[in-house]
Amino acid sequence: MRSLLGVLGVAAVALYLDSPGAAIAAGGAAAMAGATALQDSPRSRLPLVVAVSAEMALAVAAGGLSSTWTPVFLAVVAVWCFAAGMQWALSANAGMVASGAAILLVTASPAAVSLTTVSTASGLALVGGLAQGVLISLWPQRRWRDQREALALAYRSLGADAKRLASDPGAQVDRQPLIRLREAFTLSESQARLRPPAYRGWYGLPERIMVTLTALGREGPRDGAAADVLQAGADLLDLIARRAHRRQVGPALARVDAAAEQLNGATRIVAQRLSHQLAEAVELHLGLFEPEQIAPLRRPGLPHSWAVAAGLIRAQLSWRSPILRHAVRLTIAATAGVAMGRAAGAESGYWIAVTVLMVLRPETAHTYTRCIGRITGTAIGVVAASTFTALLHPGGPASAALAVTFLGIAYLAADFGYLVVNAALAAAIIFLLDVSGGVDTSTVEQRWFATIIGGALAVIVHVGLPDSALVRLHQRAGELLKTEIDYAATVIKAFVHDLDHPAEMLSAAWQRAASARTAFEAAEGATRTDDPEIRRWLRTYRASLNAVTTSCATLESTLPSHPSPTLNREFTSAIDGYVKALMGNPATPAAPWRVDAEQLAAAAVAVRDTAPLLSSDDGPARVLVGELATITRVVVDIAHVRPVGQSAAHPWPTSAE
């Protein structure tokens, strides 16, 4: 609500101080910055909001300065859209923000404007975005404060554990701060289901660090170098808990790296794993990236956000990359849309390019169905909002209020499907563009026709420049593994928690897995590859998935009607952690769904360590422990198999991150 009021406020101020064009720029920038500020994350959002605000202001300035000269404007649109397409390599959020900035660019009026007008519009766009940062800084959500406190407590406790383990291999680690941390990030099952990507990483990394500290602590008293690593790690963990400045954290991380280099054999491998995990923790707390983006960056030294961003984009500069192909498709379609709109001379010709930007995504497996769905949603929103404006002629403030209302609907509908979201966003954009009035029935027809043309362009570029069959096979393989894992996770959870209608849930999970297997087989047939390495991988992949299915069938046959009331709490917590690790990291535009093999192995160790706490009456739970070992081994084996020609930039579904 605060974010929406911020959008309305800056739009109203812009209307009062300057032209409707400035109100469009300010309102659009505030909306994008507000969406960024509301991302679920315990870290400060201010740096990201500032970056987004600057990007919006730059888009407004670029559009205002170049829109008068069509050839120059087309070149600017092409360059901007290519850059916007490549930003999907960073994250889906970054790609969406870049597309939003591109919408502000392509809606620039072709009429001549003064430098003062352009400066005012871009300045108000910057102010509108920064206003969201001020609002979120002054009135943060209580949940975010609780999460930050739980993170600080967990890392402080890990530092104390590391100090004890350096001198006493039998010292017990304190699990309570980690349990509290997990509870702070998963207040309910619905939250865990709706927001697993970022949340799992925030509490999963400290749990993995705890497992590594325990393994290294067994060598501490017998190896002085191992004790040095633990002591250096303890110092760094204290700095992370205090959110110390990079000037302090950098040398502390270097000391951990140096101490790890003094070890040999298996102990050195464990120490290097600890060093990599601590580097992730540093970047998560002091950088700008989310957990799923940090995982591939494990390397000695202190990663820096901008260098990492450049590296992530550079890794996608391959013609096989779905991100690069998306950027090319977006550039061609958006530039063609702007050119067609300018050539037609229609007042609403820009809506062709806007539709392209709202529809195109770097997807492979579900490209056409989702593309048609987004076109349909956009058309519904455009026709409904334009008709309302043409019939009732709301004034500038009323149009701004309606735009904010539909932005709120889009926020609320984010979990219900892209058709509703696109319809609400299209209506919000229409109301924001119509703050100047002057809409009639001919405008409604123009916009509807432009939406159809833009949607057709989006489909045509997908048909003309599709992702490679091998990339589609990657995506289908990831979906198949995801559904098999979802089935396994449902069975495992039923051992320790009462589920609502467990038989129906298990049946539905199995049906999804069967459908995904059919789609995977179809994608394999379409690939028609004769590469022996890929064929060998496919055989291994099927055999591994069959092993997971067999283990799940064994578990389902021994599943009790209700979980044992005597199950140890720590064992239940370890099983919950294992399930969340098994659920893996989400699919991203740059890579299919994948499992972090290291995190899964650490969760399996935690389950094995708590198994002795089971009583003699917990027979089904002991069967569960045995089958989890099989599932873990199979999934980790898949994670370490890479077909020929496969690079780290384009991982297969279970890359060992």
Same domain, yes or no, for 529 and 614? yes
Nearest-5° Cα angle at 97, 94 to 103: 145
Rg (CA), the chain: 27
Same domain, yes or no, for 441 and 475? no
Nearest Cα neighbor of 42 from 206, 135, 152, 205 is 152
> What are 422's two structure tokens?
């696109």
Whole-number pLDDT of residue 333: 95
Whole-number pLDDT of residue 465: 87
Query: Of residues 240 and 417, which shows the higher confidence score?
Result: 240
CA 141 to CA 624: how far, in whole Å?
A: 39
Confidence of residue 42 (pLDDT cuts 50, 70, 90): low
**Which DSSP string do the residues of 302-356 spell out, in sequence order?**
---HHHHHHHHHHTT-STT-HHHHHHHHHHHHHHHHHHHHHHHT-TTTTHHHHHH
Confidence of residue 153 (pLDDT cuts 50, 70, 90): very high
Confidence of residue 40 (pLDDT cuts 50, 70, 90): low
**Per-residue pLDDT at 32 exceeds 90:** no
Confidence of residue 296 (pLDDT cuts 50, 70, 90): very low
**Which H helix or E strand runs over 142?**
helix 142-167
Same domain, yes or no, for 103 and 16? yes
What is the rounded average pLDDT of the residues 629-633?
87
Widest Cα–Cα separation across the chain:
83
**Per-residue pLDDT at 453 exceeds 90:** yes
CA 410 to CA 505: how far, in whole Å?
A: 29
Express each pLDDT in 94-114 by its tens digit.
888 899 999 999 988 888 778
Query: Of residues 470 and 256, which shows the higher confidence score?
Result: 256
Same domain, yes or no, for 161 and 299? yes
Picking from 448, 464, 480, the residue at the C-terminal end of a domain is 464
> What are 79's two structure tokens?
């360059």
Residue % of the chain over a pLDDT of 90: 16
Same domain, yes or no, for 488 and 581? yes
Number of DSSP helices (H) and strands (E) in the chain, helices first? 27, 0
Whole-number pLDDT of residue 474: 77
**Per-residue pLDDT at 161 exceeds 80:** yes
Same domain, yes or no, for 369 and 250? no
Where do we find the tokens 């104390």? 160
Q: Is residue 495 part of a domain?
A: yes
Q: Count of domains in the chain?
A: 3
**Per-residue pLDDT at 497 exceeds 90:** no
161 is in which domain, residue-wise?
142-314
Whole-number pLDDT of residue 490: 86
Whole-number pLDDT of residue 86: 93
Nearest Cα neighbor of 128 from 59, 26, 51, 37 is 26
**Per-residue pLDDT at 298 exceeds 80:** no
Same domain, yes or no, for 220 and 128? no
Contact 50, 137 (CB under 8 A): no
CA 483 to CA 486: how far, in whole Å?
A: 5
Q: Is residue 97 part of a domain?
A: yes
**Per-residue pLDDT at 457 exceeds 90:** yes
Contact 204, 599 (CB under 8 A): yes
Q: Is residue 624 part of a domain?
A: yes
**Per-residue pLDDT at 256 exceeds 70:** yes
Same domain, yes or no, for 476 and 622? yes
Q: Is residue 644 part of a domain?
A: no
Same domain, yes or no, for 605 and 482? yes
Query: Dihedrals φ, ψ of 171, to 5°?
Result: -60, 140
CA 319 to CA 305: how far, in whole Å?
A: 25
**Per-residue pLDDT at 9 exceeds 50:** yes
Whole-number pLDDT of residue 271: 86
**Per-residue pLDDT at 587 exceeds 70:** no
**Which DSSP string do the residues of 149-216 spell out, in sequence order?**
HHHHHHHHHHHHHHHHHHH-TTPPP--HHHHHHHHHH-SSHHHHHHSHHHHHHHHHHHHHHHHHHHHH
Confidence of residue 144 (pLDDT cuts 50, 70, 90): confident
**Per-residue pLDDT at 72 exceeds 90:** yes
Express each pLDDT in 337-385 by its tens digit.
999 999 988 888 889 999 999 999 887 556 677 888 889 999 999 999 9
- Output the average pLDDT for the chain: 80
Nearest Cα neighbor of 164 from 172, 155, 156, 154 is 172
* Cα-to-chain-centroid distance, residue 236: 27
Residue % of the chain over a pLDDT of 70: 84
**Which DSSP string do the residues of 528-588 spell out, in sequence order?**
----HHHHHHHHHHHHHHHHHHHHHHHHHHT--SS--TT--HHHHHHHHHHHHHHH-BPPB
Express each pLDDT in 425-451 by its tens digit.
888 888 888 877 667 778 888 889 999
Q: Is residue 657 part of a domain?
A: no
Which of 148-157, 392-401, 490-499 has the highest average model confidence (pLDDT)?
148-157
Whole-number pLDDT of residue 199: 57
Picking from 279, 314, 349, the residue at the C-terminal end of a domain is 314
